[in-house]
Structure 1
Amino acid sequence: MSTHEAVDALRELGLSNYEARVFVALQRLGGGTAQDVARTSEVPRSQVYGAADDLAVRGLVEVVESSPKEYRPVSLDRARAQLRERIESQHDRAFENLEAVHGERDAHADESDVATLHGSDTIRDRTADLAADADDEVILVGARAGDLRPDLVAALEERADDGVEVTVVTADPETAKRLADGVRVVVSPASGDDGYVGRTLVVDDATVLLSVPARDDAEPYDEVAMWTANTSIGRILVRYVHAGMQAGLDAED
C-alpha cells in the first residue's frame, strides 16, 4: 500500500487529512520533531503541532516533552484498537440517537404512503419484517425455495404457530419442504414467470409488497419493489391480489 493509500484509508476511519499524513509520517520515522514530520509528510510545520496534539488526544501519538518537542506513534496494534474503539463508540451513539427518533415516523405517516426498495437483500429484509408483524393473514405469492431465507421461514412459521393464516403460492414444489406443516403451500404454475411476475406479499388487509426483476438496461439492481403498510392504497391492492390469485387458481381447475 502506498503512503497516499494509507492516508486515504485513515481518513475513512475518521482522521483529518493532516492527522492522517502526520500519523503515517511518524510510522515511517518511528518518531521525530515537528520539523522531521513536516519534511516527511509535506504538512506545514505550523500545522504539524495541532495535528500531532489531536492524535495524542485520540491516543495514537505520545508527546515527549523535550526541547524541541518530539512525537512518537503508538504501536500499530494499539492504534488499531484505539480506532476500532472510537468507531464502535460512534456507531453506538449514532444508533442510540436513531432509535430515539425512530418512533416519530409513525406520527408522520400518510394514508397514501408508498415506498420503493432496490436490491434482493433489501426486499427480502422487508418481506421478513412485514410477515413477522401479521395479525390475521399472510399470503406470499411467487416464492421459490431459494428465496426463503431463514428469517422469512421463521417469520412465516411463527405466525402460523400463533394462529395466523399463512399461505405460500409457488410454482416450485421444493418450497413445501422448506416450511412446517402449519404453513399452507399451494403449488401452482400460475405463480411462475408466465403468471405472477416477481413476488407478492400480502399481510392482513392493508399491507402489500410487490417486487419484480429489474431490467438490466434500466436499473443497476437485480430486483425492485414497492410496498405500503396499513394504508388506503394497501387495502385496494390487497383486494386486487386476492382476486388475481383466486382467478389464477380457478383457471387451473
Structure 2
Amino acid sequence: MSQLRQLRAEEAEGLGEAAKCLTKLGLTVNQARVYIALLRLGSAKASEVAKESGVERAETYRALNRLGELGLVRASVLKPTCFIPSPPEEGISRLLETYSDRLRKMREMALEAVSLLKAEQRQPPRHAALLELVVGRRRAFRKALDMINKAKVEVDCVTSGYGLKRAAKGGILDAFEEATGRKVNVKLISEVIEANLHEAKLFIEVAEFKHADQLNAFLLLVDDAEALVGVTIKEDTALDTEDHIELWTNSGFFVKAMKQFFEKAWSEAVDVHTRLDKLRKNKSEAKQ
C-alpha cells in the first residue's frame, strides 16, 4: 500500500458511516467531520465546530471555506461569523452538481486533447499481437460488452447453459440486440436446458442460435479480429465472483484458430428450435 493510501486509511479509521459516505462522495476526512459537526450543532462559530469535530482550528477554517465553495455550508454576514450547514438533501445535490459541472468541463477538455494529440500523430500505430488476462466475471463482462459494442460485421459466441443466464443478466442480451440493429451478424452456441429456457427464448430474437451439449467454455469472437476465451469453473448465475479468468487477444494466429473451432462447433450444433421441440416432448412424456 502506498504511503498516501495508508495515510488516508488511517485517517478514515474511527469514522462513522455518514462520514465514510461523504468521503466516498469526494470530501476529505476533515471536511466530512466538519460538515457533520455543523449538522449536529445547527449553526456555530468556527471554534465551536473545531471542538465538536475534533479537527484543529486552522484545518477547520480550511474545511469550512471549501465546504462553502461546494455549497454545503453558508456563513452569516454578522460578526462573529457563524456557519450554517445546508440541509443534507440540498448539500448533497449541490455537491453532485459541482461534480457534474467538473465532468462536463473535463469532457470538453478531453475532446480538445484528442484533437491536439491527433495533430501530433505522425504515423499510425503498428499492429501488435496483445494478450490480456481478465480477472473476475464483472471485468470479463465489461470486456465482452466493449468488444460487442465495437463490432462492425460479425460476432460469434459460445457459452454454457448457465453462462446463457449470466449473459442475459450481465447485459450481453441487450448488446446483441443493439449489434443486430447495426446489421452485425450475431451467432450464438449454447446448451439449452430447462433451467435457461426463458433466456434461450430471448436470445432467439437477437441472434442466430444453435444448441450443443455439455459446454463448459466461453468464447467471443468479434470481426475475426479479437477473441475472449475462458473456461467455466463453477456453473452458477453469480456475476461478482473473482474466481474467474478469461484471456483476451488480438493475435491473428490465435483468433484464426478460435474461428476454425467455432465454425466446426457451429456445423455440428443443433438448431435451437429442434432442441426446444425435444425438451417440450420430453416434458410431455414425463407427465404421462
TM-score, L = length of structure 2: 0.65
Shift of 1:210: 0.6
1:70 maps onto 2:82 in alignment: yes
| Structure 1 residues 137 and 143: alpha-carbon distance in aligned structure 2, compared to 1, 3 A threshold | farther
Is the CA contact (8 Å cut-off) linking 1:120 and 1:224 kept in structure 2?
yes
How far 1:153 moved relative to its partner?
3.5
CA contact (8 A) 1:112 1:233 kept: no
8 A contact 1:123–1:225 mirrored in 2: yes
SS in 2 for 1:201: strand
Deviation at 1:31, TM superposition (A): 1.2
Task: Give distance in 2, aligned partners of 1:67 and 1:157.
Answer: 64
Counterpart of 1:46 in structure 2 is 58
Whole-Å separation in 1 of the counterparts to 2:223 and 2:19: 53
**Alpha carbons 1:206, 1:234 under 8 Å: kept:** no
Q: Is the 8 A contact 2:34 2:53 kept in 1?
A: yes
Q: Does 1:199 align with 2:218?
A: yes
Moved more, 8-17 or 162-171: 162-171
AA of the residue aligned to 1:7: A
Aligned residue for 1:140, secondary structure, equals strand
CA gap 1:181/1:57 in 2 versus in 1, 3 angstroms? closer
What residue ranges of structure 2 are gaps of 5+ in the alignment? 1-13, 118-123, 236-240, 270-288
CA distance in 1, matches of 2:175, 2:223: 14
Change (3 A) 1:133 1:66: closer
Instruction: Kindly indicate which of the two structures has a greater share of residues assigned to helix.
Output: 2
CA offsets per residue over residues 63-118 of structure 1, 9 Å max, x none? 223333222222223212212222333444556666777898xx657421122223
Identity rate, percent: 23
Distance of 1:208 and 1:19 partners within structure 2: 47
Task: Give the C-alpha shift of residue 18 in structure 1.
Answer: 2.6
Query: What is the match of residue 21 of structure 2?
Result: 9
2:244 maps to 1:223: yes
Q: Which amino acid aligns with 1:74?
A: S
Match of 1:122 among 125, 135, 139: 139
Query: Does residue 1:31 correspond to 2:43, yes or no?
Result: yes
Q: C-alpha displacement at 1:28, in angstroms? A: 1.3
> In the aligned structure 2, how far is the partner of 1:30 from the partner of 1:182?
57
Give the SS at the match of 2:129. coil
Contact 1:207 1:238 in 2 (8 A): no
Provide the rounded CA distance (Å) in 2 between the counterparts of 1:46 and 1:183: 63
In the alignment, what sits opposite 2:203?
179
| 1:237 pairs with 2:257 | yes
Mapped contact 1:200–1:211 kept (Cα < 8 A): yes
In structure 2, what is the equivalent of residue 112 of structure 1?
Answer: 129
Q: Which residue of 2 aligns with 1:89?
A: 101
- 151, 156, 163: which one aligns with 1:139: 156
Letter in 2 for 1:115: E
Contact 1:156 1:166 in 2 (8 A): yes
2:247 maps to a residue whose letter is M
Compute the RMSD of aligned alpha carbons.
3.9
Return the offset for 1:186: 2.5
- What count of residue pairs does the alignment treat as equivalent? 240
Distance 2:132 2:53 in 1: 49
Contact preservation (8 Å) 2:224, 2:256: no
Normalising by structure 1, we get a TM-score of 0.72
- Secondary structure of the 1:199 match is strand
Secondary structure at 1:111 match in 2: coil
Show CA shifts across 1:210-245 (max 9, x none).
1223579xxx6143211224x424444335524763
What corresponds to 1:79 in structure 2? 91
Structure 2 vs 1, CA of residues 81 and 241 (structure 1 numbering), >3 Å: closer, same or farther? same
Partner in structure 2 of residue 213 of structure 1: 232
